[in-house]
Structure 1
């Protein structure tokens, strides 16, 4: 999955007020040539960071003039959402005041990119429910303070000084109010008929109950601070103070949210798609636009998934037959392979450590190939971690947190090990190419390591179709340089991953446009890909909570491949794969329509 659960990190949760604070430490001089545009983007960065302290911390920017942000959480209230929607429209208005015709090169790219982000964000204000990043539910198995904040505090809130530890406690103090704000919004949405499906509520309830289960002093929110403060030699009763906050403020708020979820259960149905809501069809079209950065209709996306799925099936069929597997459909043969003991890890703590070690070995294996992909010379450090146990029931099967811009924290690649049978060994290489190198971690490393070349606004506008499209394209690059030349099952795992993204197009549109049931979607996904029913169930539930997000991958991949073929045809022998890849990555991330203008400019420069 994503670098975070948000696809547009411009989804800062309140509209900050522009200040006169200079951002020269953030926006490198010369990253944007036009002085008026540069100044306006500086102001946008300031507003976004002040409105979303969690974003500031994630990027390692909660220092200096922004140090106070380390003591705050984002505003999760209804008023906070109203402010953020207003901020999108206001920034779009201010940006349009700069004549586009006077811009060129990178300035034009960043102008078009930011304007698209603001417009599509403001468009989401038409709908009176959900989050601005196309999640219709304020609280679900993959969204909300309980699902996000404890791991954020553990992995992204660094503890180096006494001030850092005090800031951690300040954030812990605010968790109760944030949870209560979400509970109130959840009840308000229910009054408008917006209630998560019964199966989403059941998983969410389990997650909340699991988070509430430990004694306060044993909660990870407490032990994380206590252990890291002790390791840094910071004297103080950190454990006692954190325990008191969890016991007196956090746990009671979780109890109230548990009660809120239980109150919704008698009214919930198993209808899986957003079609059931007022303006649900329009909401889904907006969610697809938001996530794919295209105007493709649900019907068009559904057909693309069916057609490309058949094409991948033909390739997989050839490999399966070469390995003596010829009986049944491709999906049936892959399903049998999924259960083959040769490829499975024990579902034990030792087996889970083996999975992490194998993934790390695959990160190391691909590094020598990187010069064939790119001339950028990025270091791109990556740390592999299992998804924390308290959230693994509802979390994605794999996802990436980008590295901090200041180098204080590497990219963190999370793999969900709730059940190791979801990860036969032959599937792990392609997953690693996607999440780590040359996928998310590589693309994110450009923002961190070459930030003198690009405005900081690029780190705040992550488009799902670009980031996930690049990561899926990265899986293809690994195959093209021969990573699987002596590993037919590894290549089968890669093709299965591509097939899986085709099936996502079919299933997501099936759920939200064609009114499929959850069971129908699970059957289609498992049957088409051969993945376990457990893995398919986790995926389908994710699509229900984040409509359209699963379509970003293949739509983005298709466009990057199309643009590469366009560049090849135009340049002939002058085409250099490394230059093309670097032209894409060095945008920092753009909507797909803007990406074509970047590639056209790269072609023109290569010809010259």
Structure 2
């Protein structure tokens, strides 16, 4: 009887174990399904909320209108994301499996950041010295339109500009009333991009651009009707809205904007600055700790720069060498085409080498275009996206050739264009990871790409090596300058002097960059902190894997993530190390 009893007990045990296993599987499925349903619903809602938006990292659907930005819409977004966060935090993370724990960490950071901006009413300051809602509209105007329906949708957006601008003006007035504005010192000349649209003739108007050359597939009679409608929309809707905005900017915003610089000086300023640090770095770092880190890194890079000066044979002080670089004509392009063609040649040199450093390469190709003239005077030296590396050809005596290799690596390949293209082509990732951009990861990877140029042999002269180091120094200086301005009470003059004394950037670029940091708190911190995280992850993988470390495999592991918070990157590389450590499976018996 005992063996039978044991068999019965064993059977009961197995049934119970199966029930537990089935219950666990059901719980896994339930948690995973709840999470997927939540993020798919929210992502679709988010794209609908921003339908018609078109900027560098838009998350909106194509639409025959522009997004709502009024106070009621902002309140609705705050309520919605509050509910989403509540639902998200009710999901048992321990029950998620596969890639979902990573998806959860990325998504939680996204929602938290979106909600924080709503609660701090960041929408009451819808522009800065670098980016503005009215210039973002120009991205649509510069994109090719493929068919008559696309043109009709574009015309409907033009008709909606007055409503959209009125809502933005109301938001900015609310910001002014509580002392939440762009600092006045950064606003000089920023009205030029408004005036150019408000005052230009039809053929010269930015928003008429798509009608100058239309697809041959659209019949001539239809083209004529669309051009007539465009002329009416620009004269009747767009230009009056831009004139109204221009008057508001000059007569109200500029005189009433704040004279302080620090984010800390605004309402809830300390909380606002810490929130911007979390958003842009994905870490909860104190401003003073970032400032100290920046000073340490500046000192390290300064020593490397001094060694590089010796290699050039230059006799003189560090300051004298910087003056030489800023003023000698040999270092500057004579024409816009020279700058563009040099960048194109550098990009093709990368093409020849990139397969040795990255295994999976994107199908998407990028082009090189000059920054549009309405943006160029206050734009960065370059900017990269999925399909375009924008190179600033304005004020050529401020565009040194010795920094061009580092700039090209950062903005195109293996930097922004390559990373963003790989993310978009990664069909295994949810859309909220494929089509969003986390600055610490994206800028960190792009800055790391500049350093990768040393290994790729792309800095041909000591001057180009110094240009690479001055770009590293520039980003390390940002840690000091951003926290100096927004937390430690620095003046604009202090920030300019610190940049001038430590980098070989031109005076024009130093001025536009410092204004960018003043008007865009925290964004400048993402670059160097992101690069440090990637370098630290690589050093750990090299140390722990030794001879089995594979650089291409490491880069593929980093790039396969899409855009993620830095703690997620660190966790992924820890898993990568564990996976590489595992011995190969034993061969089966034959």
Q: CA deviation at 1:47?
A: 1.5
Of 163-172 and 415-424, the range deviating more from structure 2: 415-424
Aligned positions of 1:230-249 closer than 5 A: 235-249=223-237
1:207 and 1:394 in contact (8 A); partners too: no
2:98 is the counterpart of 1:114: no
Q: CA deviation at 1:226?
A: 3.7
Kindly name which structure, 1 or 2, has the bigger radius of gyration based on alpha carbons.
Answer: 2
Partner of 1:594: 568
Of 283-292 and 524-533, the range deviating more from structure 2: 524-533
2:255 is the counterpart of 1:260: no
- Structure 2, unaligned runs of 5 or more: 1-29, 583-590
Partner of 2:14: none
* Partner-residue secondary structure (3-state), 1:390: coil
1:380 and 1:445 in contact (8 A); partners too: yes
Partner of 2:358: 374
Partner of 1:189: 175
TM-score (norm 2): 0.88
For the residues of structure 1 that align with 2:392 and 2:505, how far apart are their CA atoms? 15
2:421 is the counterpart of 1:428: no
Q: CA deviation at 1:360?
A: 1.3
Partner of 1:11: none
Q: CA deviation at 1:326?
A: 3.7
Residue from 195, 209, 220 that aligns with 2:206: 220
2:72 is the counterpart of 1:74: no
* Partner-residue secondary structure (3-state), 2:380: coil
2:380 and 2:509 in contact (8 A); partners too: no
Q: Residues 524-558 of structure 1: CA distance to partner in whole angstroms, max 9, x if unpaired?
A: 11221021111011101111221100110000000
1:335 and 1:531 in contact (8 A); partners too: no
* Partner-residue secondary structure (3-state), 1:251: helix
Aligned positions of 1:127-276 closer than 5 A: 127-128=120-121, 130-131=122-123, 137-155=125-143, 158-229=144-215, 235-262=223-250, 263-276=252-265
Aligned positions of 1:298-447 closer than 5 A: 298-329=287-318, 331-346=319-334, 351-402=335-386, 411-447=387-423
* Partner-residue secondary structure (3-state), 1:399: strand
Over 3 Å counting, the alpha-carbon distance change for 1:179 and 1:419 in structure 2 is same
Partner of 1:472: 447
1:145 and 1:175 in contact (8 A); partners too: no
For the residues of structure 2 that align with 1:231 and 1:423, how far apart are their CA atoms? 41
Over 3 Å counting, the alpha-carbon distance change for 1:292 and 1:544 in structure 2 is same
Q: CA deviation at 1:396?
A: 2.6
Aligned positions of 1:401-550 closer than 5 A: 401-402=385-386, 411-449=387-425, 451-484=426-459, 486-550=460-524
Over 3 Å counting, the alpha-carbon distance change for 1:125 and 1:249 in structure 2 is same
Over 3 Å counting, the alpha-carbon distance change for 1:210 and 1:430 in structure 2 is same
Partner of 2:556: 582
Aligned residue-pair number: 550
State the Cα RMSD in Å. 2.3
1:141 and 1:147 in contact (8 A); partners too: no
Over 3 Å counting, the alpha-carbon distance change for 1:75 and 1:106 in structure 2 is same
TM-score (norm 1): 0.86
Residue from 59, 70, 86 that aligns with 1:93: 86
Q: Residues 550-588 of structure 1: CA distance to partner in whole angstroms, max 9, x if unpaired?
A: 110000000110111111222112211111111111111
2:57 and 2:435 in contact (8 A); partners too: no
2:385 and 2:420 in contact (8 A); partners too: no
- Structure 1, unaligned runs of 5 or more: 1-31, 403-410
For the residues of structure 2 that align with 1:33 and 1:606, how far apart are their CA atoms? 30
Over 3 Å counting, the alpha-carbon distance change for 1:152 and 1:199 in structure 2 is farther
Q: CA deviation at 1:448?
A: 2.8
Q: CA deviation at 1:142?
A: 3.0
For the residues of structure 1 that align with 2:180 and 2:34, how far apart are their CA atoms? 43
* Larger relative contact order, structure 1 or 2 (CA cutoff 8 Å, min sep 6): 1
